[in-house]
Structure 1
C-alpha cells in the first residue's frame, strides 16, 4: 500500500519578475510583522528587492552560519522575541531555511505557536518545500547535525523568481542543483515507480540535467546572462526542477547520500551545498541492489543495475563538466577522519547504512574510500 502525505503549504508563487507583487500579497497568507532571516552576502538583495516591498517588517537577522548551529538558532529566536515578530521571511538557501524552520519549531515549544514562514529561495536544493531541517549540536566534543521533521514548520508561502538566484555564486548555485537531484533519487527509498513523487522527481531530474548539460563553463551566472549564454527562463527551469524533485517531501525520507552529507557538514564543516556532488553518484551505484528496478523511472534502462549505472554516470558527467568537487580530496578533507565518519553513520543512521545490503559495514568503509 502506498500513500501521499501532504504538508500545510498554502501557496507557491512562481514566474519571472513576480517578486515585488508576491511580497505585497504576503499579509493575506498570514505573514504579518515578519522578521527577515538572511545572510550577509544576501543583504544587498534584501535591501534592493525585499525591504521596499515589505513595509511591515520588524527587523532583520543575518548571523546565520552554515549548518545551522544551535547557538545561532537560539540567537535568532531571541531576535524574534525582542522584535515582536509574528512571522519569518527567509531569504537564502538551505541553511537560512533550516534556521527559519528551527526557530519556528522552538518558538512553538517556548510560546505555544509556530511562526509562519515565507521562503524566498536563492539556491536549488528545494529545502523551501519540506518540513525537514537540521540543527548542529555544538555542546559536545564532536558536533552532530540533528535532523527534525516538523510538518507545521514548512514554509506557508514560497516565492520562486529567477531574480532571486541570478546573483548566487556559481559554485553554490550549481552544486545545490545536485542536492536537488539527491532529493529526487533518495526519495525513491520508500515509494514505488508509480508514486507521484517518482513521476515528478523524474521530470525534475530530466529538467535539471537538460539545462545543466549546456550550462556555460567558468563564468558567473550574471555574466552568462549578459552574454546571452543563458536566460532567465533557464534559471526558472532550474527552480521548477528543484520543486519537482521535492514535490512530496512528507512521503519520502533521506537516504545514505544525505546522511553522509550530514556528517561531513555538521561534524566536519564540509559545505552543505557540495556534499551531494561527492556522495550521490557513488551511493547510487553502491545501493543499486536496494533500489532495484525503481531507478528505471529516471531513464530508459532495461534493468535496475543499468538504470543505476546510467543515472550515476549522468550525474558524474554533469558534476565534472561544471567543475564542481567530485571527491573529498578536492575539499582537502583529511583521509584519517574517514573511519570516524563511518562510526558516526553506523551509530546514528543504521537503516540508511543497511541500504548497502550484505556486509554493509565493510561496504560502507569501501564506499567512503571511493568518496575520498
Structure 2
C-alpha cells in the first residue's frame, strides 16, 4: 500500500429522526445563552419555529442568507448579531445558511450548530466560499467547522424533488473528486464510494416518493459521507469550474454542480482509471461513469444545460479565462481547448466526451 496521510475533522454528529428536539441541550452544552438563528427568506417560518422552540436561548433570527455567501450580506448579518449580543450561531437550511454561519464564525470565533435540510455537505467541511465583486474565493480553516451537526430526516421531508436531486448530485461531486484528489487516502476513498452508492440508490426513490423517510435518511447518510470527503481532502477541476460559474454568473449552486459533474469526470477519466472503477462500482451501472451521471440528470428531472439555468453564452470565454488564470491542482493538466469544449458541451447540454 502507498503511504498516505489522513486528517479527521472534529465534529459532533446527531443523526436520526426527531433529533432537532435536542438543539437546546446542545446549545447549553456549548455554553451559549443567545443564539442567532440563520435562514433564507424562504425559511422565515422555520426560523420562527426554532425561536419558539428555544425560548430564552434564542436571541434573534437573521433570514437574509443567500447563494455564494456575498460579503455584503455577511456584513449585515454581523451587525445584527452584534446588536442582539448573540453568542452562538444556529444555521438551518442548505449551503447558503451554513455558509453564512461559517463566515460569521470566521469573523467572531462563535460556536456553530448546523441543521442541514438539503444534501449540500457544507456542514462538515472546513471550507468557505465567499463572493465579492463577482468573484468567488475559497478558503480553508478549522475555525469554519460547526461544533455540532444535527441530521434530522424530518427536516428534509418537505424539500422539493428537483432540489433534492440537484443537492444530492452536488454532494456526489464532493466524493467523486475525493477519489482522485492529490491527497486521496484509503479511508476517504471508502467513504466516498459508500456515499456515492447511498445517493445513487436513494435519489431516484426520493424524487418519486418525496415523503419516503427511509430513502430520505439514506440520502442524508450519503450526503454526510460525501461532505466529510470534501472536508478531508482537496478538490480539483469540477469545484474550480463550479466556483467560477456560480460566483461570476450567479448560477444556482446545486444545479451548476449537477450539470458540470459528468463533464469533469470525463475530462479526468483517462488519467484516473482506479477512481473511475470505484465510481462505476458505486453507481452500480454498466455505462461509463460520465455517461451514467449525465443520464441521471434526465432521469431525475434536472436540466442538463448551463444555458437553461441562466448561463450567458458570452460568458463562456470569461469563465475559461478565470479557470486558467488561477493555478488549481487537477490530475489532468488544465488545457485551454479541451476546457473550452467542456464548457461548450455543458452549456448546450451535450453528452460529455473524453477529448
Q: TM-score, normalised by structure 2?
A: 0.90
State the partner residue of 2:81: 80
Per the TM alignment, residue 80 of structure 1 is displaced from its structure 2 partner at its CA by 1.4
Q: TM-score, normalised by structure 1?
A: 0.86
Per the TM alignment, residue 94 of structure 1 is displaced from its structure 2 partner at its CA by 0.6
Q: For the residues of structure 1 that align with 2:146 and 2:231, how far apart are their CA atoms?
A: 13
- SS for the counterpart of 1:362 is helix
Query: Which of the residues 143, 156, 168 maps onto 1:177?
Result: 168
State the partner residue of 1:55: 56
Say if 1:13 and 1:22, in contact at 8 Å, map to a contact too.
Answer: no
Change in 2 beyond 3 A, CA 1:49/1:75? closer
Change in 2 beyond 3 A, CA 1:69/1:3? same
Q: For the residues of structure 2 that align with 1:167 and 1:213, how far apart are their CA atoms?
A: 16
Change in 2 beyond 3 A, CA 1:316/1:248? closer
Residues 7-86 of structure 1 mapped to structure 2, 5 A cutoff:
7-9=9-11, 11-49=12-50, 51-53=52-54, 55-86=56-87
Say if 2:251 and 2:310, in contact at 8 Å, map to a contact too.
Answer: no
Q: For the residues of structure 1 that align with 2:331 and 2:132, how far apart are their CA atoms?
A: 26
Residues 1-372 of structure 1 mapped to structure 2, 5 A cutoff:
1-9=3-11, 11-49=12-50, 51-53=52-54, 55-107=56-108, 114-138=109-133, 143-188=134-179, 189-192=181-184, 195-217=186-208, 224-225=210-211, 231-300=212-281, 310-348=288-326, 350-352=327-329, 355-357=331-333, 360-372=335-347
- SS for the counterpart of 2:261 is helix
Q: For the residues of structure 2 that align with 1:40 and 1:149, how far apart are their CA atoms?
A: 27
Change in 2 beyond 3 A, CA 1:54/1:159? farther
Q: For the residues of structure 1 that align with 2:56 and 2:177, how far apart are their CA atoms?
A: 40
Stretches of 4+ moved more than 6 A in 1? none
Say if 1:37 and 1:88, in contact at 8 Å, map to a contact too.
Answer: yes
Per the TM alignment, residue 22 of structure 1 is displaced from its structure 2 partner at its CA by 4.0
Across the two proteins, how many residue pairs are aligned to each other? 342
Any gaps of 5 or more consecutive residues in structure 1?
A: 108-113, 226-230, 302-306
Any gaps of 5 or more consecutive residues in structure 2?
A: 348-355
Change in 2 beyond 3 A, CA 1:182/1:147? same
Say if 2:174 and 2:229, in contact at 8 Å, map to a contact too.
Answer: no
Per the TM alignment, residue 252 of structure 1 is displaced from its structure 2 partner at its CA by 1.0
Deviations 1:284-316 (A, max 9, x none): 011113323223223349xxxxx9962222322
Q: For the residues of structure 2 that align with 1:346 and 1:216, how far apart are their CA atoms?
A: 37
Q: For the residues of structure 2 that align with 1:145 and 1:308, how far apart are their CA atoms?
A: 37
Q: For the residues of structure 2 that align with 1:236 and 1:70, how far apart are their CA atoms?
A: 33
Q: For the residues of structure 1 that align with 2:29 and 2:325, how far apart are their CA atoms?
A: 46
- SS for the counterpart of 1:254 is coil
- SS for the counterpart of 1:46 is helix
